[in-house]
Structure 1
Amino acid sequence: MSLTAGQASLRVHVWRKLRSLGSVYLQSSVCLLPDRPDTMRAVRRLLDRVHGDGGSGRLLRINLPDEDEAQDIREEFNSARDGEYAEVLERLPTLAQEITMERGRGRATYAEVEESEADLARFHTWLGKIARRDYFAAPGGEAARAAVAAVGEQLAAFEEEALNAEAPPGRPLRAVPHQRTRRTADG
């Protein structure tokens, strides 16, 4: 895509959108994305906006008949996603440590649980965004999902402690396991 110097905000928008789609750059202003309906629809919309704002760009479909070259490109996509999954794994221990610290301090309260739930929800959202651009099932995804699930289990135990700490005497409560719900086409 080509934009004039006066279109800096559009340039940033294009860059962010292509990044959010999981593009791999071959060189400046030339990137690759898999030919998938949702991805191509997003690229067409982006091109419409660029053209509407006076810029230029093209959507070209390529075929990679050399399987080694195709595999190299899939590995580039996976490497990019693995980097993102690694960042999740790098930041997740902070939440786990915070839960452990609050438990150790005896601060099992609903407010602390609610704060940790919000943090865990952000990790689920982040993981979901990465998964949407993980076109070739990068190996790091499994470890990241397992680590987020493990912190979810840790949070469920913390929530149980908080419920019991705040429950009326003689009436312990049970926490509901933390699971990310998936919406189906029906609901």
Structure 2
Amino acid sequence: MKDSAEWIALSYSVPASPSKARVFVWRRLRALGAVTLRPGLAALPNSAEGKRSFALLAGKIRELGGEPLVLEMDLVDGTESERLRARFADAGRRALREAMEEVAPILEKLETAGPAERAQLERSLSKKLGRLQKQDGNPLRDQMAEFEQTAGSLFEALRGMPAEFSAMLRGKDQGGNGE
């Protein structure tokens, strides 16, 4: 028999009114990378971070007048457990795709950004990647850490380059015809 359950779950109910309580819980679960199993029941892979996150959210649910219950659980049917793992993997890939869609315009802006704007873009990119990396159950967390480190190296190199020199390195002359 294994030492701990595979999943940590949060069963909860929140008052129907005001709706901001339900929206808050839904957004927080999404930010954590939790998968909704049924209305009022969400799960994460069992980890210290997941337990801490669900415990904090349970406290907030109580403050909002709701009733939370944090559980450790295993699914009896191995096929169902595999499906749940697949849902987390799909959610991780979807979150990565969404993050990359958000990051693409930032990277495009870097082509013409001056040093001050580069610093602001770096903070924005770091925040977006950090949010993804913190999601429990995201199977791409390790890749995100590597991507964030690579992006950091890119920003470090760009900090030392004037915008004109950076554009020249990308194969663009000042006339913009790429010769």
Q: TM-score, normalised by structure 2?
A: 0.68
Cα distance change of structure 1 residues 25 and 124 upon mapping to structure 2, 3 Å threshold: same
1:88-124 per-position Cα deviation (integer Å, ceiling 9, x unaligned) = 2223332232222x2xxxxx7xxx1221222122212
Aligned length: 154
Q: Distance in 1 between matches of 2:163 and 2:109?
A: 18
1:2 maps to: 13
- Runs of 4 or more, structure 1, over 6 Å off, are none
2:122 pairs with 1:120: yes
- Contact 2:106 2:125 (C-alpha < 8 Å) held by counterparts: no
AA aligned to 1:161 is: M
Cα distance change of structure 1 residues 28 and 117 upon mapping to structure 2, 3 Å threshold: same
1:177 maps to: none
Q: Distance in 2 between matches of 1:124 and 1:117?
A: 11
SS of the aligned residue for 1:6 comes to: coil
Matches within 5 A, 1:7-156: 7-100=18-111, 102=112, 112-138=114-140, 142=143, 145-146=146-147, 149=150, 152-153=153-154, 155-156=155-156
Cα distance change of structure 1 residues 149 and 44 upon mapping to structure 2, 3 Å threshold: same
Q: Distance in 1 between matches of 2:15 and 2:47?
A: 29
Q: Distance in 2 between matches of 1:49 and 1:17?
A: 10
SS of the aligned residue for 2:36 comes to: strand
% identity of equivalent residues: 23
Cα distance change of structure 1 residues 149 and 99 upon mapping to structure 2, 3 Å threshold: same
Q: Distance in 1 between matches of 2:41 and 2:15?
A: 16
- Contact 2:129 2:148 (C-alpha < 8 Å) held by counterparts: no
SS of the aligned residue for 2:69 comes to: coil
Cα distance change of structure 1 residues 69 and 114 upon mapping to structure 2, 3 Å threshold: same
AA aligned to 2:130 is: G
Cα distance change of structure 1 residues 67 and 12 upon mapping to structure 2, 3 Å threshold: same
- Contact 1:89 1:144 (C-alpha < 8 Å) held by counterparts: no
1:127-155 per-position Cα deviation (integer Å, ceiling 9, x unaligned) = 1111111425238x6379538825852x4
- Contact 1:51 1:57 (C-alpha < 8 Å) held by counterparts: yes
AA aligned to 1:121 is: R
Give the structure with the larger strand fraction. Answer: 2
- Contact 1:81 1:134 (C-alpha < 8 Å) held by counterparts: no
AA aligned to 2:81 is: A
- Contact 1:23 1:31 (C-alpha < 8 Å) held by counterparts: yes
1:161 maps to: 161
SS of the aligned residue for 1:125 comes to: helix
CA positional deviation for 1:65: 4.6
Q: Distance in 1 between matches of 2:59 and 2:148?
A: 40
The CA RMSD over aligned residues, in Å, is 3.1
